[in-house]
Amino acid sequence: MKQTAKHDLRELHSEVPAVRQASRQMVRELGFLDHWIGGCGVSHSQCHALIELEHHGVLTAGELSDLLNLDKSTLSRTLKELLEAEYVAVRGGGEDKRKKPLTLAKKGLKQLDRIHAYANDQVHAALSLLSEAERRTVVEGLALYAKALARTRAQSELAIRPMLRSDNPDVARIIRTVMPEFGANGPGFAINDPEVGQMFESYSGDQAGYFVVTRGGDRVVGGAGFGPLAGGGKDVCELRKMYFLPEARGTGMGRKLLLLVLERAREAGFKTCYLETLEKMTQARRLYESVGFEKLCKPLGATGHFGCDSWYAKKL
Amino acid sequence: MKQTAKHDLRELHSEVPAVRQASRQMVRELGFLDHWIGGCGVSHSQCHALIELEHHGVLTAGELSDLLNLDKSTLSRTLKELLEAEYVAVRGGGEDKRKKPLTLAKKGLKQLDRIHAYANDQVHAALSLLSEAERRTVVEGLALYAKALARTRAQSELAIRPMLRSDNPDVARIIRTVMPEFGANGPGFAINDPEVGQMFESYSGDQAGYFVVTRGGDRVVGGAGFGPLAGGGKDVCELRKMYFLPEARGTGMGRKLLLLVLERAREAGFKTCYLETLEKMTQARRLYESVGFEKLCKPLGATGHFGCDSWYAKKL
DNA sequence: GAAGATTGAAACCTCAATCTTT
DNA sequence: AAAGATTGAGGTTTCAATCTTC
C-alpha cells in the first residue's frame, strides 16, 4: 500500500511538466481558433459575455466579470457597446436599483447563432479526427483539470486555525445556520447544547479542542472539535460539531480539518473517536467513511442527542 | 459496422458543446493561475517567452512570435524589455545580419526558476487532488485536443483541386524532390517516367486524372492520380505518383486526396485499383492499408517500375 | 460604510507602415 | 523584391479612484 503511494507520487512529479506543456500547447491552439472573431463585429470578451448570458439567462455586470475572469471595468465598457448594439438589454423592474440585470436581446441571439455555428464547426472538425475513446478522454481530461484547478483555488483562500475567544459569535452563528438546514433544530439536537454560545471556553483544556476554517483573511466559514465522550470512558473521544457553510463545502477542506482534529485527539491520548450524525447528511457521512470511520448500529455514551440516527467510530 | 459509425457521429455531436464548455472553464481557471505573475516583475508574454527560450535554446524573434501566437510587433517590444533587464541575450556572430538569435541569460534563468517553482506548485496541488488514472486522463486529454486542433488548423490551409496545365512545373518539381528523399532515384523508378514533365497532358481524358493539394492560396505541396494499369485489363486502374512535400505530411490530407482519387477512378468505371510502392515508405503504406488496400506478394501488369518492392490492390 | 457600477491613466496587444539587410 | 525586425496609431485590459444606491 505504501509502495503504491510512493510510486503514485513519483508519477505525479513527472506528470506536472507534462500537463503544463500540454496545457500551454492547447491554449495556444485555442488562441488560433479565436482569430476569426475579428471579422464578426464582436470582440473576444463580448463573445464570451454573450455565451455566458445565454447559459445563465440573467446576470449582473459583477456576476459576468466573475464568470469571465475579467475586471469589472472591462466589463462595464464591454457591456456599454453590447447595449448600444442592442445585443443585450437591461431587464428593469428590479428592486435594488444598484443592480442592472442583463439578458440577451434578439440581435444578440442572432449573433450568438453565428458564433456557435462557427465554433461548433471548428471543434467538430478537430474532434472528428479522433476516435470515440479519444474524444471521451478529451472531454473528461479537460473537465477533470478544470475542476481540480477550481478546487485548488478555492482551497488556497481557506485556512485552518485553532478557535479564538473572539470566534464565539461566528461559530455559534454557523451552528445555528447549518443545523436547521438539515432539519436538525428540534430537541435532541446539538443546536440546543448550552455550549453553543461559549464554544471557546467549552473546548479549552488538554482533553478537548476546537478548530475553525477561515476564508479570505479571517471570516469563519466552518469548524470542528473533539472532547471526551460523555459516559464513554477515558479512552474514547467524540468528534463534535463539525459544520461548514455551503460556500465552504466541496472544497476538500472538510477532509483536511477532520484529519487535523483526529490527529490532535490522538495526541491528547484518546484511542477511539466516536461521532453522531444524521443519515441525510450524506456528504458528511461519505467523508467519515472515507477516512476510516465504521458505522455502528447503536449509539455509544450518553450525549443526549437522541435526534441523531447514525453513529460511527474509528480507532486512532 | 455502419450502425457503429452512425452512433459514433451522434455521440460526436453531443460532445462538441461538452468540449467547448469544458475548455472554456479550463481556460478560465488557467487565467486565475496567471494572476500572480503581476507580482514577479515579468509580464505574461515575457514569462512565456522565457519558457519557450528555455525549451528551444536559441530562437529568433519571428520564431518566438509564431510559438507564442503573438504579433511580431508585440514580441519586438517584449524582447526590448527582456534585453534591457538582461533576462535574455543576443547571440551574435550569426551570418545573416537580419536575424537576432536569442538565448536565455543568467538572470533570465534565475527568474525562470522562480516561475517554474510557483507554476509547478500550483499544478502539483491541483493534480494531487486526482487519482493516478484521472491524472493520466488529464495529460492525454489535453495533448490529444491540442494535437487535433493543430491538425485541423494545418488542414484548413490546404485544399484539393484537379491539376491544371500551369501546375506542370510544380508537380514535376515535387516528384523530383520527394523520390530521391527515399532513395528512389535510380532506374526502375517512376521518377524516370517520361510523363513527369507533362503530367497534365499525361492524365487528361476520361480514363485518368491527376489532383493536387495546394497550401495557402495556390502553392502546390502534393498530388496523386490514377490511370489504366499498363497490361492490366480494362477493369484495373493504377494509383499513380502520390507524393507530398514534408510540410504537407501528417495533416490528414493524404487520406482525403486518396479517397477522392479512388472515388473518381470508380466513377470512371474501374473495378479494382492497384499500386506500387516501397517497403520503406511506411507512412504511405499505413495509409493504403487503412483505407482497405490489401498487400500482394507480387506485382500486377507491366509498369516497368522494377525498383518497387511492395504492391497493393483494392476493390472499388 | 458597503455593494454595484463607472471613469481616467497606464500597460499590453494588434494592424499597418517603415526600416534594414539580403 | 523579400525576409527579419522596428515604430506609430488605435483597440483592449487592468488598477485605482470615483460615483450612485442601499
pLDDT per residue over B21-45, tens digit each?
999 999 999 988 888 877 778 889 9
Lowest mean pLDDT segment, chosen from A26-35, B48-57, B89-98, B302-311: B89-98
Check if residue A59 sits with its Cβ under 7 angstroms from strand C. no
Lowest mean pLDDT segment, chosen from A5-9, A106-110, B188-192: A5-9
Neighboring chain B residues of A153 at a CB cutoff of 8 Å = 29, 32
What Å value separates CA A215 and C1' C3?
A: 19
Query: Among A23, A70, A131, which would you mutate to test the B interface (most chain B Cβ atoms within 10 Å of its Cβ)?
Result: A23
Per the CB < 8 A criterion, the answer to whether A308 and A278 are in contact is yes
Lowest mean pLDDT segment, chosen from B37-51, B129-143, B302-316: B37-51
Please state the pTM of the whole predicted model. Answer: 0.74
Q: Place A219 in a pLDDT band, splitting at 50, 70 and 90.
A: confident
Q: Which of B24, B32, B69 lies at the smallest CB-CB distance from A32?
A: B69
Which grid coordinates are listed for B120?
509547478
SS3 of B59, please?
strand
* Percent of chain A's residues with pLDDT above 70: 95
| pLDDT score recorded for residue B7 | 52
Give me the sign of the Cα torsion angle A188, A191, A197, A203: positive
Residue A77 is classified by DSSP as H
Per the CB < 8 A criterion, the answer to whether B270 and B208 are in contact is no
Per the CB < 8 A criterion, the answer to whether A296 and A314 are in contact is no
CB distance A8–B132 less than 8 Å?
yes
Q: From residues 165-224 of A, which are strand C contacts by CB within 7 A? A: none
Residues whose CB is less than 8 angstroms from the CB of residue A257 and which lie 6 or more positions away in sequence, other chains included: A160, A211, A213, A222, A223, A224, A242
Check if residue B61 sits with its Cβ under 7 angstroms from strand D. yes
CB distance A120–B23 less than 8 Å?
no
Residue A257 is classified by DSSP as H
Between A and B, how many residue pairs show a Cβ–Cβ distance under 8 A? 190
Lowest mean pLDDT segment, chosen from B110-114, B156-160, B254-258: B156-160
Q: In chain A, at which residue ranges do the beta strands (DSSP E only) sit? A: 88-90, 102-104, 158-162, 209-215, 219-228, 236-244, 272-277, 294-296, 310-315
Across B222-249, average pLDDT: 92
pLDDT per residue over A149-206, tens digit each?
988 888 887 889 999 998 898 899 889 888 888 888 888 888 888 899 999 999 999 9
Which bases of chain C are under 7 A from a protein CB atom?
3-9, 11-17, 20-22
Neighboring chain A residues of B68 at a CB cutoff of 8 Å = 28
SS3 of B222, please?
strand
| Beta-bridge partner residues of A312 | A275, A295
Q: How far is B60 from chain A (nearest CA, A)?
A: 19
Q: Place B4 in a pLDDT band, splitting at 50, 70 and 90.
A: very low
Which bases of chain D are under 7 A from a protein CB atom?
3-9, 11-17, 20-22
Quote the CA–CA distance of A156 and B36 in Å, as a whole number.
13
| pLDDT over 80 (residue A67) | yes
Check if residue B151 sits with its Cβ under 7 angstroms from strand D. no
Check if residue B198 sits with its Cβ under 7 angstroms from strand C. no
- Which of residues 166 through 205 in chain A touch B, CB cutoff 8 A? none
Mean residue pLDDT of chain B comes to 89
| pLDDT score recorded for residue A94 | 62
SS3 of B89, please?
strand
| pLDDT over 50 (residue A306) | yes
CB distance A153–B128 less than 8 Å?
no
| pLDDT score recorded for residue B186 | 81
- Which of residues 8 through 27 in chain A touch B, CB cutoff 8 A? 8, 11-13, 15-20, 22-27
Check if residue A62 sits with its Cβ under 7 angstroms from strand C. yes
Q: How many residues does chain B have?
A: 316
Per the CB < 8 A criterion, the answer to whether A49 and A85 are in contact is no
| pLDDT score recorded for residue B94 | 62
Characterize the bridge pairing of strands B236-244 and B272-277: parallel
* pLDDT winner (highest mean) among A14-28, B8-22, B177-191: A14-28
SS3 of B142, please?
helix
pLDDT per residue over B183-216, tens digit each?
888 888 888 888 999 999 999 999 999 999 988 7
What Å value separates CA A117 and C1' C6?
A: 34
Neighboring chain B residues of A53 at a CB cutoff of 8 Å = none
Quote the CA–CA distance of B88 and B82 in Å, as a whole number.
6
Q: From residues 31-50 of A, which are strand D contacts by CB within 7 A? A: 43-45
Check if residue A74 sits with its Cβ under 7 angstroms from strand C. no
Per the CB < 8 A criterion, the answer to whether A301 and A274 are in contact is yes
Q: How far is B24 from chain A (nearest CA, A)?
A: 9
The H-assigned helical ranges of chain B are 2-34, 44-56, 61-68, 72-84, 106-127, 132-156, 168-181, 199-202, 253-267, 282-290
Per the CB < 8 A criterion, the answer to whether B42 and B53 are in contact is no
* pLDDT winner (highest mean) among A145-154, B38-47, B94-103: A145-154
Q: Place A10 in a pLDDT band, splitting at 50, 70 and 90.
A: low
Which grid coordinates are listed for A230?
460523555
The number of angstroms, rounded, from the C-alpha of B57 to the middle of its chain's C-alpha atoms is: 24
Go through A241-271 and write b for each residue having 16 or more CB atoms within 10 A of its CB, e for each that does not: bbbbbeebbebebbeebbeebbebbeebebe
Across B97-122, average pLDDT: 89
| pLDDT over 70 (residue A59) | yes
CA atoms within 13 A on the CB side of B226: 27
Neighboring chain B residues of A12 at a CB cutoff of 8 Å = 124, 127-128, 132, 135
Within 10 Å of residue B133's Cβ, how many Cβ atoms? 8
Neighboring chain B residues of A23 at a CB cutoff of 8 Å = 26, 30, 142
- Of the candidates A120, A132, A134, the one whose C-alpha atom is nearest the C-alpha of residue B6 is A132
| pLDDT score recorded for residue B217 | 66
Mean residue pLDDT of chain A comes to 88
Quote the CA–CA distance of A201 and A222 in Å, as a whole number.
18
Q: In B183-306, at which residue ranges do the beta strands (DSSP E only) sit? A: 209-215, 219-228, 236-244, 272-277, 294-296
| pLDDT score recorded for residue A287 | 93
Neighboring chain A residues of B23 at a CB cutoff of 8 Å = 26, 30, 142
Closest residue to C21 measured CA to C1′: B98
CA angle A7/A8/A10 to nearest 5° reads 65
Check if residue A79 sits with its Cβ under 7 angstroms from strand C. yes
| pLDDT over 90 (residue B262) | yes
The residue ranking higher by pLDDT, B156 or B258, is: B258
What Å value separates CA A31 and C1' D6?
A: 25
| pLDDT score recorded for residue A9 | 59
The residue ranking higher by pLDDT, B219 or A123, is: A123
pLDDT per residue over A281-298, tens digit each?
998 999 999 999 999 999
Q: From residues 248-287 of B, which are strand C contacts by CB within 7 A? A: none
| pLDDT over 50 (residue B141) | yes
| pLDDT score recorded for residue B9 | 59
CB distance B139–A17 less than 8 Å?
no
Q: Which of A27, A32, A148 lies at the smallest CB-CB distance from B130?
A: A148
| pLDDT score recorded for residue B93 | 63
Q: Which of B18, B124, B136 lies at the smallest CB-CB distance from A139?
A: B18
